[in-house]
Structure 1
Amino acid sequence: MSRMIHVFERTTHEAHEWVNDLAGRTGWTNEREVLHLLRAVMMRIRDHLPLNEMAQFSSQLPIILRGMFFEGWQPKLTPVQERHAADFIAAIDAEVGDVIDYQGPSDIKAVFNVINARISRGEVEDIRACLPQELRDFWPVP
């Protein structure tokens, strides 16, 4: 039992590190809102990926974030055919635009930078390669 509890503690700690990293990059102080932004961007990325790439990306996430990544996923609706970065940004705006600290594209790029810093460079490159060109151009190169 104690080994299982250790797994829960470790993944909670890892997820908290992601949230703290993003909070530092955005300057946000409300952890709940930071997690909401992280979740919204990751789910939108997820909806652009083919199944194999989605699985490879999620395998590098802390277990708690992996659960959030797949929450609400509807396989028949993915991958989305959205071609423009403006549409991606608008979808995130609709999700977190009511957060007072939200700064639009710069906060979305902060999430991309957290992903760049916390998963392997090769996986980031694979994810970016699955995205439309405008979105690849929007996501900073790791």
Structure 2
Amino acid sequence: MTINTFTQAAQQAQHWVNELADDLNWREPRAYHLLRCVLHTLRDWLPLEEMTDLSAQLPVLIRGIYFENWKPKATPVRNRGKEHFISRVKDAFPDDQSINAEQAVVAVFSLLDRHISQGEIVQVRNSLKKAMRDLWPTN
């Protein structure tokens, strides 16, 4: 891997964060924190095979964030309902009472929908419970 490759990877990750920040009209550090939290939560909700299939389509630095602090023996989590997903995201913002966690999750799912192949998105959506699937945008 060359320095140019690192630079390109950083630019691609920054583009995702900027895009999410623009979608939500948030500042970049807050958007990064949200992206990280939703990716970790999604990772922990998906079956192992689907979790790794999704990771293969993430940009290299985003993939690193996705796997950060992953505990394979603890995933997928037992209770994978929508309420718990939303709660986990809201809990990641303890000092921010203004966050609409469901809207924030939808924004991250929309970002993934724009950047990941539709075939993979369909597989990810189908791996989730119906209430969770309702958070994903449909084309």
TM-score interval, normalised by the smaller of the two chains: over 0.9
Q: Secondary structure at the match of 2:76?
A: coil
Pick from 5, 11, 14: which aligns with 1:13? 11
Q: Name the CA distance, whole Å, in 1 between partners of 2:6 and 2:98.
A: 31
Match of 2:92 in 1: 95
Match of 2:123 in 1: 126
Residue type of the alignment partner of 1:17:
H
CA RMSD of aligned residues (A): 1.5
Q: Name the CA distance, whole Å, in 1 between partners of 2:95 and 2:124.
A: 28
- 1:73-126, CA deviations, whole angstroms, 9 ceiling, x for partnerless residues? 111111112242111100100012424662221111100100000111111111
The residue correspondences of 1:44-55 to structure 2 (distance < 5 A) are: 44-55=41-52
Pick from 71, 79, 83: which aligns with 2:68? 71
TM-score for both structures, normalised by structure 1: 0.91
Residue type of the alignment partner of 2:13:
A
Residue type of the alignment partner of 1:28:
W
Q: Name the CA distance, whole Å, in 2 between partners of 1:15 and 1:87.
A: 27
Match of 2:35 in 1: 38
Q: Is the 8 A contact 1:28 1:101 kept in 2?
A: no
Match of 1:25 in 2: 23
Q: Name the CA distance, whole Å, in 2 between partners of 1:74 and 1:125.
A: 25
Residue 100 to residue 26, structure 1, CA distance change in 2 (3 Å) = farther
User: How many residues are treated as equivalent by the alignment?
Assistant: 139
Structure 1 segments of 4+ aligned residues over 4 angstroms from their partners: none
Residue type of the alignment partner of 2:9:
T
**Unaligned residue ranges in structure 1 (runs of 5+):** none
Q: Is the 8 A contact 2:45 2:77 kept in 1?
A: yes
